[in-house]
């Protein structure tokens, strides 16, 4: 079978009818690109279309297959056989199409569910954003497949001005996608740049400046550093180190302050730690509900008794360890510590870390972990603590 010969013959028949490829495509309900492939010989018409093509051009099937006219017409028996073959092919395609329709509907539903689940309790994360983007693109593709296999797309295509509407939508999506892609590339480059930046490393109590850290790193800390003292002048001895790097969505690293006090000052500092609490308001209204988070006391998780302000929410840990024998308090802030423990910067501070180091590797949603700085008033919407709202008067109820 000479495909190119068949293609030239089909082109000859079309020209005899004085039809364009687009006009012929509408007759057989295919695309003009499909007609072009037939005529170049790169593809052959589907077997179910052979009889229809032969009848339209007033030739027999054998002439189409052989790519040239014959003097004798196709006999009735061959015509019947061809029609039965076409009917068989149609039935086979219909059976397969029913399966495709079913799978496309299920796939569209599952992708919709997947996108919804990924958006619930969403935490800013480059890989999660990428997963949601790819899920959405898959959803669009599956939705188009569903519309096509159920015949809806073909019906819409016959509507007047549908082509113009599609072009407008595609244009808008293209502009939006281009903008999104540019933003995505910018974020990717920025993430790569941030990841390549070195940690800021400072040591010595003369470099301790809590106010500077809060101003420099701001909300990326997911903490107001209430555990850490404002004044270090009453310490007998101290050692301080901070190892931080700001990222696109958060700050990575650690702050560790070791301080020894007199008996009197030690007791005062322990009392201060025990009374730490945060009042978090649901709204800015006068009758806003509010919640008071209090510091946690834990004698089991660490090598020393600990007052805990954050215990892993957003991968942030903030606590103070109490060494009563030496009147010593160790103030600790950790952000994403798992990468800094095994062979990293935190190895030398292993005595100040959780007894179970595997606890730092947490799979799942970290928003459910404890933090004195956040509270969920409902609908999985977490409200953060604002130090400027301390002492605010409200007529709302405590939650």
Instruction: Please state the domain count of the chain.
Output: 2
Within-domain flag for 337 = yes
Using the 3D structure, point to which of 29, 56, 74 is the last residue of a domain.
Answer: 74
316-323 β-sheet, strand order: 200-203, 237-246, 251-260, 328-335, 316-323, 306-311, 296-298
Using the 3D structure, point to which of 22, 57, 74 is the last residue of a domain.
Answer: 74
pLDDT (0 to 100) of residue 239: 95
Q: Which domain holds residue 254?
A: 200-389
User: 10 Å Cβ neighbour count for 106?
Assistant: 12
Q: Does the pLDDT at position 329 exceed 80? A: yes
Within-domain flag for 141 = no
Model confidence pLDDT, tens digit, residues 30-44: 888 888 888 888 888
pLDDT (0 to 100) of residue 224: 92
126: confidence class by pLDDT, cuts 50, 70, 90 = low
360/338 Cα distance (integer angstroms): 6
Model confidence pLDDT, tens digit, residues 182-241: 666 776 676 666 666 678 889 999 999 999 998 888 777 889 999 999 999 999 999 999
pTM of the model: 0.55
pLDDT (0 to 100) of residue 370: 92
Q: Does the pLDDT at position 17 exceed 90? A: no
399/394 Cα distance (integer angstroms): 13
pLDDT (0 to 100) of residue 259: 96
The total number of residues shown for the chain amounts to 399
Between 19 and 61, name the one with better pLDDT.
19
Within-domain flag for 253 = yes
Q: Does the pLDDT at position 12 exceed 60? A: yes
Summarize the confidence of residues 141-146 as an average pLDDT.
Answer: 74
Within-domain flag for 331 = yes
Within-domain flag for 263 = yes
Using the 3D structure, point to which of 74, 104, 121 is the last residue of a domain.
Answer: 74
pLDDT (0 to 100) of residue 73: 46
Within-domain flag for 384 = yes
The answer to whether residues 227 and 273 touch, using CB atoms and an 8 Å cutoff, is: yes
């Amino acid at each position: 079978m000479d495909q190119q010969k068949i293609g030239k013959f089909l082109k000859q028949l079309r020209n005899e009818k004085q039809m364009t490829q687009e006009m012929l495509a509408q007759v057989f309900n295919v695309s003009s690109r499909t007609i072009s492939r037939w005529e170049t010989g790169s593809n052959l018409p589907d077997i179910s279309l052979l009889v229809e093509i032969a009848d339209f051009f007033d030739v027999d099937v054998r002439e189409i297959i052989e790519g040239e006219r014959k003097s004798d017409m196709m006999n009735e028996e061959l015509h019947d056989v061809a029609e039965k073959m076409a009917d068989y092919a149609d039935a086979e395609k219909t059976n397969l199409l029913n399966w495709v329709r079913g799978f496309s509907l299920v796939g569209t539903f599952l992708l919709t569910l997947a996108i919804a689940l990924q958006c619930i309790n969403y935490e800013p994360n480059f890989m999660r954003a990428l997963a949601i983007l790819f899920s959405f693109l898959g959803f669009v593709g599956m939705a188009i497949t569903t519309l096509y296999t159920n015949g809806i797309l073909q019906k819409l295509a016959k509507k007047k001005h549908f082509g113009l509407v599609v072009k407008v939508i595609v244009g808008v999506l293209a502009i939006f996608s281009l903008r999104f892609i540019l933003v995505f590339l910018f974020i990717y480059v920025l993430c790569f740049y941030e990841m390549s930046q070195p940690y800021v490393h400072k040591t010595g109590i003369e470099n301790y400046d809590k106010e500077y850290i809060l101003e420099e790193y701001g909300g990326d800390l997911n903490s107001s550093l209430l555990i850490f003292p404002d004044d270090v002048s009453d310490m007998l001895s101290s050692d301080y180190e901070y190892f931080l790097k700001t990222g696109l969505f958060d700050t990575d690293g650690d702050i560790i302050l070791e301080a020894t006090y007199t008996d009197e000052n030690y007791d005062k500092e322990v009392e201060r730690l025990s009374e730490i609490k945060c009042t978090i308001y649901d709204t800015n209204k006068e009758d806003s509900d509010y919640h008071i988070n209090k510091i946690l006391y834990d004698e089991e998780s660490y090598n020393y008794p600990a007052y805990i302000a954050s215990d892993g929410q957003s991968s942030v840990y903030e606590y103070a360890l109490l060494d009563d024998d030496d009147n010593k308090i160790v103030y600790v802030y950790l952000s994403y510590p798992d990468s800094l423990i095994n062979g990293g910067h935190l190895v030398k501070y292993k005595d100040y870390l959780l007894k179970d180091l595997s606890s730092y590797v947490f799979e799942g949603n970290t928003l459910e972990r404890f933090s004195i700085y956040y509270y969920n008033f409902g609908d999985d919407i977490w409200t953060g603590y604002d130090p400027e709202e301390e002492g605010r008067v409200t007529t709302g109820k405590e939650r």
